[in-house]
Structure 1
């Protein structure tokens, strides 16, 4: 509310003439365009709030109640009654006992099958292994071990110690001597001649050839190439570089003064000032249009509220005030007159007539059937007490023979 009642902002000092010239026409045009929109917006908003408060919210509550009453509760009751309860009863009364019986039956059947399997397949084989196969196997193993020991192991050990070991040692000595001789012969035939040839012939000849080739390469290739580089190629390269540099300088100067300088001058003195001016104009126009829209929207709100208050005042003075005056001046006194002059006497007369009819009916009943009997009260039963015999015991006397005076 306070934001909508703000006064328009004053012009800021230092603004240009363009801003001052654009602001007022733009705000007038925007105000003319925005006021109908704001009026329609406020009317639609008020209508929407009224419809939501008076129609949509009760309708939604009613639909929710109808959905809960007509759909959710019947479906839930139907589900519980037709599905859950029968399934629970079926599970509790049928499936559970049947499952327990099947489990007991399967358990007994499993125990019987296990016992039968052991009796048919386990116990006979265990007895056969324990009382037949194991003793026979032990005896056979003892016999076979004795035979292997005295028929194989003892002769093999004697043969190894007495025959094979001396023969093997002799063969090893013979082969070792033969190997030493063959190695010496191989060195004498294949290694030492080639070593002498390399050391005393090929190496000196290779060194001489390498020295000759190096001298020839130095004085036939390196020295002429160095002279050619220093005396011919270097001056020619420097001349080519100077020529290329001069051509590049000339071309750069021509491009600079023919293309770059005019383009820079065009950008600096024409395009950039024009762009700045255009940007300033567009910025001012856009800013003023946006500010005008905001300001005019607030002003349109004030106008819309004023129109609404005016219409409310007119409606109050045209309809509400007369209706209130008629109700207060005419209908209220008339209602009081009707209540005090007609309704209360009529109600009192009706009450009196009803009481008279009731009394008349009671008198007729008493005359025809007599007065109703009053209920008789039952006599009170006296409390039971001890009999007053002369021989009763009291605090000051005794009935025993020892203490009697």
Structure 2
């Protein structure tokens, strides 16, 4: 629509198209005052009907998210861990520590009991036998086969010559006894009779086609007058106007439903924020103040006055107990050593092995030698 005046000197008016609201479907142009009059009551009714449904829906969504975060997800993780502990880990242990070792043992047993004898049989029995069969085939069967093939080729050549002669005789007899009489019969008897029958059939088909065309035209006009013209009138003057009215009403109801759903969402969001703020000031803030102003100082006092001294005393007691236990273990160790020495005497000194290596004092130097040839 025209929102600004036409500036002087311009030939066309300045037009600014109104931007559509995000998420809202614009009504079709050319609705008229009837559509506008129907739109406002329909939107009001839809808002009244949709607002409780949207608030209940938002409440269910919030409750479902809270239930999922606080109950369903921890329970699901616990059930997953329990399922692994009950079903997966036992099967993994059985597979790793029972099935795999047993399978490896069976594989080794099969290798020893089956594989090694099979390899020995193949190497020392089947292979020599196969070589012998190959020698027989190459030295005996192949020459015999070649001789048989030569004989069969000679016999086949003779039979082929006889067959060609017989085929030529049969071809001449078939030509003059079958083909020539059949061609004469087709040319002078069957072809004239077939042409006459075809001409009669074409004439009969033309008559039937003309009669069917006349009957079809008559039935077409009867069906058009009795069925088509009344149906076209009902469609054009009754169904099309009613359909247009119903389409406008449906479009407006759909647009009103979307508009009401969005408005109800804003209302539900405002109500939810108000309830959240009220719950925060009634429950959360007092609890936070009690925690920060009362429980935290009391906890600090209890920690500094009771827990830390008790922890220091417990550490000192533990240190003293560990020292006493260490002294007792050392005394017991010394008593066992004295008793062993009294019963069995002093232990024999350990003998060092002679590795035949020169010591540090007797090593080779520039002024002396430790070899057998240069030894003083």
Which TM-score band applies after superposition, normalised by the shorter structure? 0.3 to 0.5
Name which one, 1 or 2, has greater alpha-carbon Rg.
Answer: 1
TM-score by length of 2: 0.48
TM-score by length of 1: 0.45
> Relative contact order: is structure 1 or structure 2 higher (C-alpha 8 Å, sep ≥ 6)?
1
